[in-house]
Amino acid sequence: MTSQKQNSSQLASSFRDPSGFLFSRDGVLYRQVNHKYEQEYARLMESGLYDKLVKARLLIPHVEVEQTPAEVELAHKIIRPERVPFISYPYEWSFGQLKDAALATLSIQRRALKAGMSLKDASAYNIQFMRGKATLIDTLSFEIYKEGQPWVAYRQFCQHFLAPLALMALRDVRLSQLLRVYIDGVPLDLASELLPQKTRFNFGLLTHIHLHAGAQKRYSGAEVKSRAASMSQQAMTGLIDSLDSTVRKLEWKPGGTEWGNYYDITNYSDAAFEHKKHLVREWSGRLKPSLVWDLGANNGVFSRVAGQVGALVVSSDIDPTAVEQNYRQVKDEKTESLLPLLIDLTNPSPSIGWANAERDSFGTRGPANMVLALALIHHLAISNNVPLLQVADFFSKIGKWLVIEFVPKMDSQVQKLLVSREDIFPNYTREGFEAAFCQRFRIAEAVNVRESQRVLYLMESLARPSDH
């Protein structure tokens, strides 16, 4: 839903389902509904299911429009879905985000069954966070339910949601990154092998993961006779209830990891902290960005300040604990304009999938109007050895305005990074920093942060708008 390549082009991620596809024309995103899907679309709209789901903010709203179809012979209708302001992927979500996406999917399936429909896929990529809430963005995901029919998306639900959630909760939260390798979800035999033995005593995990994996291996490629493959609606309800309670029972509590209590151990005073907030507020108020990327956002303190001007703030951090805390706060405060994401800036999400074009890399999902890089430069330049000019180059391409904090070498946080290694960074000085960034930016303002040795800059990228 992000890239608009040509004047009218089918989106690279939209090719699997013959019911229709997404295309973009003159920068607007449309979905073509094919003749093949006519009956299902009518049922969705006329049964009241669409209205109920949209009201519950579980399904993306759309309008039917008069547009020339992208594929005329196939076309039944053209719809224009509400635009998703920023697309994110399951391997960028915290535990709580993936869990909410799973529960939203099951809630949709329950409501669909009541309207005589059923989800024909349960892909985590069909869920996006819109105004803080997990929402299904594929309007064509429903099929007409016929009693007796099993849930065709059962395997996909287990692979995309249940398996990674169980691994995150019961083995290690970092295993969410398996989703980056396995685009159709974690293979169940792998999940079964990695999960602790005690999970065999949990009825939900025993059946939906362990026995499921065993059955897949044993009956791979076997023919299922359609008469035998019959399942009552009561059985379907039981299945959905069981998946729901299994998911709900999975918990992960953010503990103290890398930055878990970062703001308690910072080396600067309240005055410095408030001064930084003041500057971020002033600059974002002046520039009125609509999309802000806060990189290395920790639990999102400064993202919230930047978001006060009405921008959508993508608040990313490398630490699963910080991202989870950030997301919990978003939910508690019902913040609609903040999207916490798990991003390792030294290795941001690549473009993956068929032809490397199904899921976009992090860098190409912009540009942002404003990028925040607070207390970040030393991690990139010193911990990760990235030359300052390369840091400047990357930042200049992902956004128009940059708010960046220079943390000098004598700062105790930088000293900590240097304590166990040779200082091979002679250019890591304020002058060296400015010299490098001046090659890619115009420095609009530079302000010494009160009661600290740090400097906060507002810079404008010199990259051509087409690079943005």
Partner 1 sequence: MHFTPLPYLDPGSGSFLIQLLIAALLGLGVALRASWGRIKGWFGVKSQPKADDDDDEPETK
Are 269 and 132 a contacting pair, CB within 8 Å?
A: no
Give whichever of 111 and 450 is closer to partner 1, judged by the CB atom.
111
- Round to whole Å and give the CA distance between 157 and 165: 11
Region of 407 please: left (phi>0), alpha (psi -120 to 50) or beta.
beta
Stretch that binds partner 1, among 76-84, 106-114, 304-312, 445-453 (CB under 8 A): 106-114
Q: Considering the rule CB under 8 A, would residue 50 count as an interface residue with partner 1?
A: no
Q: Considering the rule CB under 8 A, would residue 16 count as an interface residue with partner 1?
A: yes
Q: Considering the rule CB under 8 A, would residue 114 count as an interface residue with partner 1?
A: yes
Give whichever of 119 and 297 is closer to partner 1, judged by the CB atom.
119
Which 126-165 positions form the footprint of partner 1 (CB under 8 A)? 133-134, 143-144, 146, 149-156, 158
Q: Count other C-beta atoms under 10 Å from residue 352's C-beta.
A: 17
Q: Considering the rule CB under 8 A, would residue 225 count as an interface residue with partner 1?
A: no
Count of residues of this chain found to bind partner 1 when the rule CB under 8 A is applied: 66
Judged by CB under 8 A, the residue of 5, 18, 258, 442 near partner 1 is: 18
Q: Considering the rule CB under 8 A, would residue 285 count as an interface residue with partner 1?
A: no
User: Would you give the distance in Å from CA 198 to the centre of its chain?
Assistant: 31
Q: Considering the rule CB under 8 A, would residue 242 count as an interface residue with partner 1?
A: yes
What string of H, E and C letters represents the secondary structure of 39-72? HHHHHHHHCCHHHHHHHCCCECCEEEECCCCCCH
Q: Considering the rule CB under 8 A, would residue 200 count as an interface residue with partner 1?
A: no
Cα-based angle 397, 11, 124 (whole degrees, multiple of 5): 90
Q: Considering the rule CB under 8 A, would residue 120 count as an interface residue with partner 1?
A: yes
Q: Considering the rule CB under 8 A, would residue 354 count as an interface residue with partner 1?
A: no
> Residue 163: helix, strand or coil by DSSP?
helix
Q: Considering the rule CB under 8 A, would residue 329 count as an interface residue with partner 1?
A: no
* Shortest separation between residue 103's beta carbon and partner 1, angstroms: 4
* Shortest separation between residue 348's beta carbon and partner 1, angstroms: 27
H helical segments located in 294-424: 301-307, 320-332, 377-378, 388-398, 412-418
Give the length of the chain.
Answer: 468
Q: Considering the rule CB under 8 A, would residue 417 count as an interface residue with partner 1?
A: no
Per DSSP, which regions of 282-429 are E strands? 291-295, 312-317, 338-342, 368-373, 399-406
Q: Considering the rule CB under 8 A, would residue 264 count as an interface residue with partner 1?
A: no
Cα-based angle 239, 241, 242 (whole degrees, multiple of 5): 65
Q: Applying CB under 8 A, which residues contact partner 1? A: 16-19, 39-40, 52, 56, 58, 96, 99-100, 103-104, 106-107, 110-111, 114, 120-121, 133-134, 143-144, 146, 149-156, 158, 207-208, 211-212, 214-224, 226, 228-232, 234-239, 241-242, 248, 331
